[in-house]
Amino acid sequence: MFDSSGSEKQIVVLKIGGSVLTGTKAFRRVSLYLKHRLEDAPNEKLVIVVSAQKLATDTLERRARRIVHSPAGRALDLLWSTGELRSVALMALYLQEAGISSAGLNVHETGLQYSIESQSRPARPVFTGARLQALLADHLVVVVPGFLATCSDGAIVSLGRGGSDLSAVLVAIGLKAIRCELMKDVPGYFEEDPNKIACARHLPSLSFSQALEMAERGCQLVQLRALVAAAEVGLPLVIRGMDDRGPFTVISERSKVVCD
């Protein structure tokens, strides 16, 4: 991709989960992280896929169930979407405060869409992000909601728990990004749960087959469907925390990829 000045830019997709977006200070911290990152990597353009703020999705679901015991899926998905859209708007405002050329998109503008409406709906939406691509040509950062897609009739639908990981991977594939980074509250994969075993060994790299095997054994760090989608096209994944100097895990076909 070339920017408005004619300079070639590489696209990197970053997914920032609700475990990172814990409050006002977290949004500002992320915006400053992105500012420093762009200064250190002037050849990059970033697409930021954000989740709802920590605990927001559960809170919205409890509110729906206080109204009706079994809320209709369409209404619940619409209610859930307000959490992601709030994160998009706040992130865009904090990026503006930081002086970063950026734009925030809604679900329909992002371009993840199911093409049919039936019980045989495909396992994942397709990327049709002309609006996202157009804005990315004019801005260094574009912020989009994770976890959500649209149907061909315009309805908003959720992608299930952990769906923001899948959103980020599908957007990265659609944009031909050089990699997709999933920012978590832990710096990647460990041999054992670091929250339970303090001395658990960090894993700096994994093959897709290793990551898929861990997911099938119950590791939920990255959504299984996101891993499968990335593996199908060989899209490198980087699982990291907010600390640039801290460890991270690279998942790739050969378990090795350069990541600045």
Judging by beta carbons within 10 Å of its beta carbon (0-12, 13-18, 19+), is residue 126 exposed, middle or buried? middle
Q: pLDDT tens digit string along 117-132?
A: 545 556 789 999 999 9
**Given a cut of 50, is residue 213 above it in pLDDT?**
yes
Question: Which residue would you say has higher pLDDT here, 257 or 62?
Answer: 62
**CA–CA separation, 96 and 172 (whole Å):** 24
pLDDT of residue 257: 42
The answer as to whether 231 is a domain residue is no
Instruction: Give percent of the chain above pLDDT 90.
Output: 78
- Model-wide pTM > 0.75: yes
The answer as to whether 89 is a domain residue is yes
HEC readout, the chain? CECCCCCECEEEEEEECCCCCCCHHHHHHHHHHHHHHHHHCCCEEEEEEECCCCCHHHHHHHHHHHHCCCCCHHHHHHHHHHHHHHHHHHHHHHHHHCCCCEEECCHHHHCEECCCCCCCCCCCCEECCHHHHHHHHHCCEEEEECCEEECCCCCEEECCCCHHHHHHHHHHHHHCCCEEEEECCCCCEECCCCCCCCCCCEECEEEHHHHHHHHHCCCCCCCHHHHHHHHHHCCCEEEECCCCCCCEEEEECCCCCCCC
Q: How confident is the model at residue 260 (pLDDT cuts 50, 70, 90)?
A: very low
The answer as to whether 63 is a domain residue is yes
The answer as to whether 32 is a domain residue is yes
**Given a cut of 50, is residue 256 above it in pLDDT?**
no
- Specify the number of domains making up the chain: 1
Q: pLDDT tens digit string along 217-231?
A: 989 999 999 999 999
The answer as to whether 104 is a domain residue is yes
The answer as to whether 217 is a domain residue is no
**Given a cut of 50, is residue 103 above it in pLDDT?**
yes
The answer as to whether 81 is a domain residue is yes
For residue 29, give its domain range: 10-185
The answer as to whether 14 is a domain residue is yes
Q: In this structure, what CATH number is given to the domain that contains residue 96? A: 3.40.1160.10
Of 38, 2, 29, 16, give the one whose Cα is nearest residue 182.
16
